[in-house]
Structure 1
């Protein structure tokens, strides 16, 4: 296909895997990939949830398709089983979105020791192990002009010290951002780009406790320079871009999706109103 400005985000013929694809940011990304024409495999620990989402998105009449199944990224055995499932379903993989994750909140002095191990096992260790097992499939589908793509879901809390009471989560996302840069450096010669997104507040099951209501969203928006929480299209459009030909020369980037939160600073340097 000849590339033009009109089809830079066309993902027809591409196969993607989105972990944690049945809800939240994973669901938003999945819909965006399917809208661009990709065949999207989604997994989470709950097969029925993934199958239901696949049915819902496939009923939208989008150019692409979605397939849902069970997959656990929290353990070594689960990751190996997930890779086996992917290989049963396809011999090509062009896109890997490492989105599965969990959070934990507790005040300083009460944050459990076990929470760190449980959270980092999924958010960091699982992400890395799944990626390295799928690199051969990604490399086989990659070319210099159209590299394979890896997108890691980080967080604005991995960029700025806003992780109050979510210490293990914030630290894990900082690790995801640096892992993105390290893997980008190592995988570029194999024609695989590695980038991360760093979302701010988006409505999902994970954030429902805080912004599941209009009042909660309005309160959260006060801390966002652009004055609102994230929307589905903010995720979908960014993922389409990172996977399309327009982003074939981008690797090692952490894309802020936080309405400017990553750059927000209070006042001026000399405490004067300018």
Structure 2
């Protein structure tokens, strides 16, 4: 076909006048029609809920969503001229994974507009099909872009850790997706959403469960955890060395994609919100941090035998572990949480959480540990524990992990009674729930 010609037509697509100007120019420049329309203009506006301005909301909605409808309306005649039954013209709308799930920040208009694009795509398919035009959406995850530049500068590593493919998207990924939807291979594809996110995790909550039992609400006492939470390939580690954030403790933290964990926390939060009266107030005011601890059956038997923290620390000291204290929730060189109550002896699912009171001098702070007993794939978790131990040694750890086989790896998650907040790729907050959790 040879090289083509590129026409630049600057227009303000947030206004109907700008859309009409672009349309008039395209009718003049391409009177024989156009093959593909890609709606890619977009903006965002970050503001707290209580301060979010109407002007900002309207600007984002107009540019991200409203302009798509009117641009399609003004250019449909040109698209009709080129489309055939066997090879339709194409409309490709650029949405976002923020329009598919619960966003991790207060980008209300942006998320709403991107969800609106997805539904508008589906709403347009019938009328456009009659005109030999397909309509599809691309929903990208975190990408290298001007809009994401500042966010990636501050927390790019955290974003990469949260993506199973281990990297941020690049322009080649988007161009390849657009080429596919524009090619003959997609001539029978319409009304679809092509997610291009490296499995960043913004899927529907039910996607993380092998079955949806709907156990939500304060009248229920069980929280379901999908097996995808325990995907060893997704696990990354963060080391804490007695910094202020860890209250003088030294320990290793397992990080996993946060959306599966958010599914668990949503259920816990629903239960917490349903508590009324003094009990609910007491729960909401109690500070702390929530842990989900992975245990193999072997480790569960150790806990079940009521081996105490003091006994484990005695073993550590006898083996010249320098100044070490060993806790179910934490291990390391500094002060760690000590058990003040025993776990239950229920052999299935998750044990009633053991309550830990910090011995680091922070008064009134409680840790609640949920012990998930994993009945299968024990070899995978043995390897994960070995990886943790090797990492700890490489980074100069001097002590408490005297045997990687005795270490209880744990996933640290949390929430508060208002919302979840993302920090360094993991959710943090306050937890004060005591509910049974089962793997589904």
Sort the TM-score into its range (normalised by shorter chain): 0.7 to 0.9
Tell me how far apart the structure 2 counterparts of residues 272 and 68 of structure 1 sit (CA, whole Å).
Answer: 61
- Deviations, residues 63-83 of structure 1 (Å, cap 9, x unaligned): 444332312211011111110
Tell me how far apart the structure 1 counterparts of residues 83 and 67 of structure 2 sit (CA, whole Å).
Answer: 23
Tell me how far apart the structure 1 counterparts of residues 10 and 30 of structure 2 sit (CA, whole Å).
Answer: 16
Structure 1 residue 80 and structure 2 residue 9: aligned?
no
* Aligned CA distance change for structure 1 residues 265 and 272 (closer, same or farther; 3 Å): farther
- Among 144, 148, 159, the alignment partner of 1:220 is 159
Tell me how far apart the structure 2 counterparts of residues 65 and 87 of structure 1 sit (CA, whole Å).
Answer: 15
Q: In proportion to residue count, which structure has more strand?
A: 2
Residue number in structure 2 paired with 1:159: 100
Tell me how far apart the structure 2 counterparts of residues 265 and 166 of structure 1 sit (CA, whole Å).
Answer: 24
Higher relative contact order (CA 8 A, sep 6+): 1
- Among 176, 185, 194, the alignment partner of 1:246 is 185
- Deviations, residues 88-128 of structure 1 (Å, cap 9, x unaligned): 21112110001111111112222222211111111111111
Normalised by the length of structure 2, the TM-score is: 0.46
Contact 2:94/2:139, CA 8 A, preserved across alignment: yes
Residue number in structure 1 paired with 2:61: 120
CA shift for structure 1 position 191: 0.9
Residue number in structure 2 paired with 1:3: none
Unaligned runs of 5+ in 2: 210-224, 228-348, 350-371, 377-440
- Deviations, residues 36-86 of structure 1 (Å, cap 9, x unaligned): x7xxxxxxxxxxxxxxxxxxxxxxxxx444332312211011111110111
- Number of aligned pairs? 212
After TM superposition, the structure 1 = structure 2 runs for residues 7-156 of structure 1, keeping only pairs within 5 Å, are 12=1, 63-91=3-31, 92-156=33-97
Contact 1:163/1:170, CA 8 A, preserved across alignment: no
* Aligned CA distance change for structure 1 residues 109 and 243 (closer, same or farther; 3 Å): same
CA RMSD across the alignment = 2.0
- Please identify the structure whose Cα radius of gyration is greater: 2
- Among 123, 146, 149, the alignment partner of 1:182 is 123
Match of 1:104, SS state, is: coil
Match of 1:146, SS state, is: coil
Match of 1:109, SS state, is: helix
Structure 1 residue 237 and structure 2 residue 176: aligned?
yes
Match of 1:151, SS state, is: strand
